[in-house]
C-alpha cells in the first residue's frame, strides 16, 4: 500500500501564520515518522514554475504567486490543485474556500479529503459577494469531497444537513502542552507573572475585542490586559474604536508569531479571554487549554464544547465586566478553572491523540 499524502490549503510550512499551517506542520512531520511520503504545497512570492525542496523529510512544492491578499490565495489554490492532480497519493485539502477547483480531482478520479473548517460564510466581516462565494464553495466541497472532516460536533451537525453522516468524520485540532516558559520574555512587555489577562485574536467585531476591552477598562484593575493582534491594518475604523475604548492598563504589543514568546505570554497569564463568536474548534482556545489557562470565553456552543463547564462565559459588555470583577479577585476559582482546562486538554486535544485519529482515517480511506 502506497502511503502518500498531498496537503493543500495552507500558506505552507514551517508554520508562520495560523492554525491550519500549524496543523499541517504537525501532521506532515508525524506521518513522515510513520513512513508516509508527504508533500505540502507552499505559497511564495514571485513568478515562474513551482520550486521543489525538502524540509525535515517533507517534500515542499513552493508555488510562486505575484499577487497578494484574497486574489493571491485563489491563484495559489488553483495552481496547487493543478499540480497535485498530476501527483500520486491522497489529497488532503484544508478549508473549502476554493472547493470548486476540487472538481479537477473528480475528473482525474483522485481521492480528496476536505477539512471543512468553520461556517465561514456566516462571518460578519465578509461582503455579500464574499459570503455568496463561500456559501457556494461550501456546498461544492460537501458534494465533491470524497470524505469531509469536521473539527467540532456542531460543524459535524451542520455538514450532516448537507450530506450523509457516513461521509463525515469529526476530528478537532490539537495543541502543544506548555508546562514551562521563560519568564524573562515578560520583561519586554513590562509584565509580571499572573498579573495580566490575555487576548489573542484578529481585530474583528465577531471576536468581541471591543466588548472585552470596554469591559476591562470600566474600572482600575491594577493588572494589565494584553491584546495581541495587528491594529494598524485591516478594519482601521474598528481598530480605532477598540483603542479608544482602552484604559491605560490595556497594552497592544502588535501581532506576534514567535512561538516561544506567545507560549510564555500564555503560560504566565492570570486569565485568557476568548471572544470568538463563530466557528468550530478554535486553535487559539485549544492552545489556551494546553497552557493550563483559566478561560473566560464568549458564550456559544462552539466555545462551551471546547472549554467545558468549569470555565466561565460572557454574552456582552456587562456580563464580561461582571465576570472580570469577580474572577480577577478570586484565586481559588481561577485555580479550579486552570485544573479543568488541563484535564480537558489531556482528554481531547493532545497532538498524539489528534494525529493518530488523522492517520487512522487516512489509512482507512486508502
Per-residue pLDDT, 104: 96
Measured distance CA(209)–CA(320) in Å, rounded: 11
> Whole-model pTM?
0.93
9-13 contacts at long range (C-beta below 8 A, 24 or more positions apart): 9/77, 9/92, 9/93, 9/94, 9/95, 9/115, 10/40, 10/41, 10/42, 10/94, 11/42, 11/43, 12/40, 12/41, 12/42, 12/43, 12/44, 12/60, 12/62, 13/40, 13/42, 13/55, 13/58, 13/60
The answer to whether the CB of 8 falls within 8 A of the CB of 80 is: yes
Beta strand 58-65 pairing with 51-55: antiparallel
Residue linked to cell 484593575: 221
pLDDT, one tens digit for every residue, the chain (366 residues): 689 999 999 999 998 767 789 999 999 999 999 999 999 999 999 999 999 999 999 999 999 999 888 899 999 999 999 999 999 899 999 999 999 999 999 999 999 999 998 888 887 778 889 889 999 999 999 999 999 999 999 999 999 999 999 999 999 999 999 999 999 999 999 999 999 999 999 999 999 999 999 999 999 999 999 999 999 887 899 999 999 999 999 999 999 988 899 999 999 999 999 999 988 899 999 999 999 999 999 999 999 999 999 999 999 999 999 999 999 999 999 999 999 999 999 999 999 999 999 999 999 988
Residue 54: CA atoms inside 13 Å, Cβ hemisphere, count? Answer: 4
Per-residue pLDDT, 128: 87
Measured distance CA(10)–CA(286) in Å, rounded: 19
Amino acid at each position: 500500500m502506497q502511503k502518500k499524502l498531498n496537503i493543500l490549503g495552507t500558506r505552507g510550512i514551517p508554520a508562520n501564520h495560523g492554525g491550519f499551517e500549524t496543523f499541517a506542520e504537525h501532521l506532515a512531520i508525524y506521518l513522515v515518522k510513520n513512513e508516509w511520503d508527504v508533500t505540502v504545497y507552499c505559497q511564495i512570492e514571485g513568478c515562474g514554475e513551482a520550486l521543489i525542496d525538502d524540509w525535515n523529510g517533507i517534500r515542499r512544492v513552493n508555488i510562486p504567486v505575484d499577487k497578494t491578499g484574497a486574489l493571491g490565495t485563489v491563484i495559489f489554490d488553483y495552481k496547487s490543485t493543478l499540480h497535485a492532480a498530476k501527483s500520486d497519493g491522497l489529497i488532503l485539502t484544508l478549508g473549502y474556500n476554493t472547493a470548486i477547483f476540487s472538481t479537477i480531482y473528480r475528473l482525474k478520479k483522485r481521492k480528496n479529503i476536505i477539512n471543512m473548517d468553520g461556517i465561514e460564510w456566516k462571518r460578519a466581516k465578509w461582503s455579500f459577494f464574499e459570503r455568496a462565494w463561500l456559501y457556494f464553495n461550501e456546498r461544492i466541497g460537501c458534494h465533491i469531497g470524497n470524505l469531509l472532516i469536521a473539527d467540532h460536533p456542531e460543524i459535524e451537525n451542520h455538514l450532516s444537513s448537507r450530506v450523509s453522516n457516513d461521509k463525515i468524520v469529526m476530528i478537532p485540532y490539537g495543541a502543544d502542552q506548555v508546562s514551562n516558559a521563560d519568564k524573562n520574555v515578560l520583561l519586554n512587555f513590562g509584565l509580571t507573572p499572573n498579573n495580566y489577562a490575555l487576548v489573542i485574536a484578529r481585530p474583528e467585531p465577531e471576536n468581541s475585542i471591543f466588548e472585552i476591552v470596554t469591559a476591562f477598562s470600566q474600572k482600575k484593575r491594577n493588572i494589565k490586559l494584553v491584546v495581541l493582534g495587528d491594529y494598524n491594518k485591516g478594519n482601521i475604523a474598528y481598530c480605532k474604536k477598540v483603542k479608544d475604548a482602552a484604559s491605560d492598563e490595556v497594552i497592544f504589543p502588535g501581532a506576534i508569531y514567535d512561538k516561544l514568546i506567545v507560549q510564555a505570554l500564555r503560560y504566565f497569564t492570570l486569565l485568557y479571554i476568548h471572544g470568538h463568536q463563530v466557528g468550530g474548534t478554535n486553535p487559539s482556545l485549544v492552545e489556551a487549554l494546553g497552557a493550563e489557562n483559566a478561560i473566560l470565553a464568549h458564550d456559544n456552543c462552539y466555545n462551551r464544547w471546547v472549554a467545558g463547564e468549569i470555565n466561565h462565559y460572557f454574552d456582552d459588555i456587562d456580563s464580561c465586566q461582571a465576570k472580570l470583577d469577580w474572577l480577577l479577585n478570586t484565586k481559588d476559582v481561577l485555580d479550579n478553572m486552570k485544573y479543568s482546562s488541563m484535564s480537558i486538554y489531556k482528554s481531547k486535544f493532545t497532538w498524539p491523540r489528534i494525529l493518530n485519529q488523522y492517520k487512522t482515517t487516512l489509512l482507512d480511506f486508502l
